[in-house]
Structure 1
Amino acid sequence: MMLLKYLVLLGFLAKHSLSLQQLTCDSLFSSLSAGPKHVVNCPKNCLSSTTAAKPCGNGISYGGTGSICLSAIHSGEMTDYGGAFTVYRNAVFSNFVVMTKNEVTGTSCTANPTYSFVPPYVPCPAGWVKHNSSCYYLSGNDAIKQSWTDAKKTCKNMGAGLAKVTSADENTFLYNQISARSKYWIGGSDIAKEGHFVWNDGTNVTYKPFFPPQPDNAWGNEDCLEIVQDQQGRWNDLTCTDSQYFTCEKPVAPVGVTQPEASTTVFHRASEPGVVCALPSMSNIVNDCATNRCLNGGTCVDISNGFYCTCKSGFSGGLCQTAATVLTTH
């Protein structure tokens, strides 16, 4: 399964004479081979690593004897879900400032040289599956279940939406991706008007592979659509508050354009415990966006226990601090 997740990424890198280096959570910058640029992939759950991030100056460059993956979390280039990005070797940049970001506390910067991050061009992020012109995320691969409303928010935080399934070909693709006897939220509902199903973008649901006698609006409150594996991928209407797996969809990045990050970095307030994740809470208690913390024109979005940034085109990173790098084909 992991091989399938990275197949598109590996194929594209090979075309451009690049190699993807699989890291462990403890891999250090100093372990990278000679050269100014390295495309790397970090696993999940690196916050538990016993190594350290060594931020230099403003925390956008990092010392060579620090952990690559912890530094990527610290900088906002990825969350604790892992991810792929490019590491660049820089000139010396010291002037260390102690800082804790994204649950990672930096230690003393070591220079000679330092390193920084930019995301690579990838048609679909690691952990997503490509089909035709879309990338799909299936939460069952990470054992995440949510209500339809929360799943919609999670997809939005990843630069996507709940899947808009408009053809038998697309529905068959999703059916073949999901595990036995599982059910997945998709993006249609008749919340606004009973019996009139629309997608989250407001367009009408015209392809409707329901299994009989669905949709039946059982108990008078089944308003959200799910795809059901043991019904050969046909659909059912279900109560929106039920916890289910879900599938997100977003467009494939055009050649030469950096794909948005696999998941949005959520910055948690240091006074409250939590892990870095892309799953939003239901309520906002404190306005963490009273002062916009996002760079390069990014927009701060306040959530319970923290905030995240939505970036303008051409910028990425947890704080929108990284200008996108365009790789051209040869």
Structure 2
Amino acid sequence: MKRFIVRCLAWGVALVALLAAALAWYAHTPVGLRTSPLDFTIEPGAGMRQVARQVVDGGIEVQPVLLTWLARITGQANSIKAGSYEVERGVTPLQLLAKLSRGDVSQADLTLVEGWNIRQFRAALDRHPDLRHDSAGLSDAELLTRLGIDARHPEGQFFPDTYLFARRSSDLEVLRRAHDNLQRRLAREWDKRADGLPYASPYEALIMASIVEKETGLPADRPKIASVFVNRLRAGMLLQTDPTVIYGLGAAFDGNLRKRDLLADTPYNTYTRAGLPPTPIAMPGLASLRAALNPPVTDYLYFVARGDGSSAFSRTLDEHNRAVAQYIRKRNS
């Protein structure tokens, strides 16, 4: 009887050793992939069995039961992180589990361009294939509420930049990061602002920066353009800037700004209303923020586009009219 028990124990040990060897072999043997590289997604809240099934459904040729057991034996079953992952030919089950437990997600990127307005921002988010479109269908007011932004309008509330994110991230998270980025940069530039600027708040500086962004054709002209608008505000002159009028027209603008548009009063018509418009008209970049908050000291009150991207600056209306005759009428003749 004792010999039988010893024999059973020996067989048991041998079996365990065999199973351990088989699992070790499995853990270090490359798996098959449907394509290489291969992208797959682990959904939030998935348990280890669900994770194994999602791995198989994603195109990785593993045995779900074996992968689950390997995760439990190695202590990784409860540390798998949701997200999108990328693997290449030659990956083993052990390497796969290590990637999932580290949260070594694959990244995508989205560039939000300086001078875009909120409609263009949202359109870029909506068409990005690697984002979850949680903002789709939300009104501007609902969007602000979901993001916890205390503002009356989303225009200007997001900083244009390139944002990296894990595939299948929420577009709301990208917008939240863009807003935080804007707030940090605006606060930093506001603290370094020149003395005596005609802004009552950082928000007014943001509005000015958005106008400078839309009026700038040549980057080198940006500071002087800011100085023109600051000088006009200080002098109590109308800003008379076309981009604000165009913004106020919204979808009705057909690409051709007419005299009747300049005369039609809207909250954004700086030909009919004094001061700054009620909100930004675009998403300004850092250079425009800096120009608006630290414009050079000039006595320019006017500028006109030369037609090559640069602008001609004038101190008096007579100088400006001559510049208009030289660059606009000549161009239209």
Is the pair's TM-score, using the shorter chain for normalization, greater than 0.5?
A: no
Q: Please give the TM-score of this superposition, normalised by the length of structure 1.
A: 0.24
Larger RCO of the pair (alpha carbons < 8 Å, separation 6+): 1
Mark the structure with the bigger radius of gyration: 2
